[in-house]
Amino acid sequence: MSSNNRMRFFFIFIFLTAGLATASYFYLDGAAISEENQLVAPVQRRDFTVELNVIGVLDAAQSHMVAAELQGSQGKIIFLIDDGTKVSKGDLLVQFDPLPFRKEVELLTAQVASFEAAVQAAEQGVEFEKNQVQREVANAEYLLSVAELDFKRLDEGEGPLRLSQLQEEQQKAELELQRHERYYKELLELKAEGYSNDSEIEAIAEKVGVLRKQFDTATKRYESYKEHVLPALREGGRAKKLNAELVLKQTSQGGVHKIAKAQATLNQIKSKLEAQRAALQQAERELQKTKIHAPFDGIVILYESFRDGEERKPREGDIVFMNQPILYLPDVSQMVVKTKAREIDLYKLFLGQRGRVRIDAYPDTSFEGELIYIGALATAESSKTGQEKYFQVTFALKDEDTRLRPGMTCRIAIEAQSLQQVLTVPLQAVFREGKRKYCYVRNGLGSLETREVTVGAQNENMVEIISGLSEGEEVSVVKPGQ
């Protein structure tokens, strides 16, 4: 090659190199970037699901904390089922020493019987008082009726009749006196005319004197009876009647008081009886509480707490107090997963939603779960980015596995959204700058150019592209130059 040709080739090479460098410098957002160190992925349509992954803890859907229900400090354990035992509904879990409670029942039973006898005697006393008062009132009523009849007989019968008799006697005496006085007067007139009969006149005069005395006596008897005797008899009869009324009233009032007193005594004894019966029922309930049976099938987990100066599980011989936990009984035939979801993920959840559950202890086995509870109140927790709010959620396992135990750690993959044949790119291929999202797209020259995109749903690996890319294009999953 001649020197002129070599010089021409050199200048052409310098020109092309300078042109490429200038183009690379001025490209900016639409500029082409060297393929060096490119890691690209295709823009393609695919089906993918949006999953929410959370970590939770297994728990029994139904569980029961068995605690002592005995009052006082007499709850001595004489039988305790072994830790980890599988039990069926009705099996004996715990038994306390029943002797002190049985003695209390026997004592109260005797006291109840004694008060029942006392109540019976008091009831008889009330009936006796009622009968006694009834007899006394009946007698007082009889005496009152007698007094009323006596008064009525005196006031309307015997009194007026006697007064009438005395008046009649007075009138008869007066008539007899008047008749003899007229006869005596006639004899005196005949004597004056010369027809004298001295013996007859003397006899008549003597008779008139006798009749006058009889008339005076009859008059006095009549007036005395009318003015004094009859009013006195009436007042006496009225007084007897009033006295009988007073006796009846006092007898009735006294009877009410006697009956009320006997009834009060009866009520007092009945009240004591009811108190003793209530105490007996409570003692019988306490005796029944000395045996605790399983309310459902489950596995026994003895409750560890501070006892006798150390942290340990209960054992036979321990004294327990009321409401002191003894064991925990979960029903492992129905398990749930208790976990929490971030507030920003809450819109992805709904009741009845399905999820795959994997237990850390058995990673090769998965279980189907159903969302059965979403908490109504958020709780704030601290994180590296600050405060974040969480909601409690619960999943119920559909399958039963005897290996599962409360407290096991598990992971839940919740299918929040299912998409079919949408444009997708790897999540790492979408870059952000403020609110702007963009990708590095390989152009026809084999270089990369930036292009804004609109994204949709995303999961841990893929993101949906709404606009900005076409199927078949390739995008970088790393930022050029890094």
CATH number of the domain within which 345 lies: 2.40.30.170
Q: With contact defined as beta carbons under 8 Å apart, do 411 and 365 qualify?
A: no
Residue 259 in domain:
yes
> Is residue 229 assigned to a domain?
yes
**Whether residue 154 sits in one domain with residue 120:** yes
- Within a domain: residue 195? yes
Contacts of 254 (CB under 8 A, 6+ apart): 133, 136
**Same domain, residue pair 182 and 224:** yes
Please tell me whether residues 436 and 356 are part of one structural domain: yes
Q: Which amino acid is at 26?
A: F
How far is Cα 425 from Cα 455, in angstroms, rounded to an integer?
10
pLDDT score of 385:
64
Is 265 a domain residue? yes
Q: Where are the beta strands (DSSP E) in 169-321?
A: 291-293, 298-299, 301-302, 305-307, 310-312, 319-320
374 and 469 fall within a common domain:
yes
Which pLDDT value is given to residue 159?
A: 81
Helices (H) and strands (E) counted in the chain, each on its own, are 5, 23
Residue 207 and residue 262 in one domain: yes
Question: For residue 446, is it within any domain?
Answer: yes
pLDDT value for 482? 66
What's the total number of domains in the chain? Answer: 2
Note down the domain range covering 53.
24-74+311-476
| Same domain? 212 vs 349 | no
Question: Are both 270 and 134 inside the same structural domain?
Answer: yes
pLDDT of residue 43: 95
Alpha-carbon torsion, ordered 338, 340, 346, 350, to 10 deg: 0
- CA distances in angstroms from 387 to 198, 340, 343, 382, 383, listed in the order given: 160, 15, 11, 5, 6
Residue 141 and residue 69 in one domain? no
398/383 Cα distance (integer angstroms): 33
120 with 168, same domain: the answer is yes
pLDDT of residue 24: 38
Per run of 10 residues, the mean pLDDT along the chain (length 482 residues) is 42 40 35 52 89 91 90 89 92 95 95 95 93 92 89 84 86 90 85 79 87 90 87 88 91 91 94 95 94 92 88 92 91 91 87 92 92 92 80 92 90 86 93 93 90 89 92 92 70
Amino acid 21: pLDDT: 37
Residue 7 lies in a domain: no
460 and 320 in a single domain? The answer is: yes
Residue 85 belongs to a domain: no
Question: Domain for residue 447, yes or no?
Answer: yes
